[in-house]
Structure 1
Amino acid sequence: MDMLFIWLGILSAVTFVLSLLLLPWFVSRIPVDYFTRPRDPHAWHIMLQPHTIVRNLLGLPVLLAGVAMLVLPGQGILTILIGLGIMNFPGKFALERWFIERKGVLTAINWIRQKTKHPPLQL
């Protein structure tokens, strides 16, 4: 049992460092018009495409690690967002839109984009 906590601590520390290093890269890769372009809200067919299945299988452990980090040391919310960013599922855009509209989130993201010399996101 002690070994489990040691490995969870190591995973948490590695994810924390990676999330801090990769955050500016992830934020700068978001297209400026990401939140203004039209979406198909009933696109369930995308779930059956092989690349979507692979993305979801890769994103799920990251998402679960983020949930674990809510009670363990580490960047839980940030890791959850990275996991969701990797994944692709119906309703993802609405979840992202809800999150980006929270007080201060858009300001922080646009601040990071400004530091990486990218234009601010449009809502």
Structure 2
Amino acid sequence: MTASIALLHDQWVWWMVAVSVVMFLASLMAIPAIIVRLPVDYFLHSRRHRSRFAPHGPGLYYGWMILKNFSGIVFVFMGIAMLVLPGQGILSILIGLSLMDFPGKYQIERLIVRQKPVMASMNWIRRKAGQPEFRSNSR
């Protein structure tokens, strides 16, 4: 009985390691892709941009919102698990929060992006992709 529990535990750990590696690699690809696709004036607006799915009807819009928020919740829970298991816990939590919609999210994003190292890193990614840098209020 003890050997089967140990085997189950080992399998669970290896599955978590595999999921952690996949999420880390996916984040390495997804984050730059998202940064490059944002408009140069994305962080200048006082309110959040309207969803690109909104004009296509409520079915597509709400379907997209449900999928996006569910994915965010999954990332947050997996990130919490990865705080004690192998993996990129904090990064996964941040990705999950960026996917979810909640009041004040856009203002928090703007506050984070105003930090010079964050903006410099994002603009470096955009320059490498041949995209113009984000515009800021100071320019």
- In the alignment, what sits opposite 2:123? 110
Cα distance in 2 for residues equivalent to 1:65 and 1:36: 32
Please tell me whether Structure 1 or Structure 2 has the larger radius of gyration of its CA atoms: 2
Cα distance in 1 for residues equivalent to 2:15 and 2:128: 34
Equivalent of residue 7 in structure 1, options 12, 15, 21? 15
| 1:63 and 2:71 aligned | no
Please identify, of 9-18 and 29-38, the stretch whose mean Cα deviation from structure 2 is larger: 29-38
Extract unaligned runs of 5+ from structure 2: 1-8, 49-60
1:73-118 CA distance string (max 9 Å, x none): 3333332232223222211112212322335111111101110111
What amino acid sits opposite 1:7 in the alignment? W
**Moved segments of 4+, more than 4 Å:** none
State the aligned residue count: 115
TM norm structure 2: 0.70
- In the alignment, what sits opposite 1:23? 31
User: RCO greater where, 1 or 2, for CA within 8 Å and sep 6 or more?
Assistant: 1
Q: Closer, same or farther in 2 for the Cα pair 1:81/1:30, shift >3 Å? A: farther
TM norm structure 1: 0.77
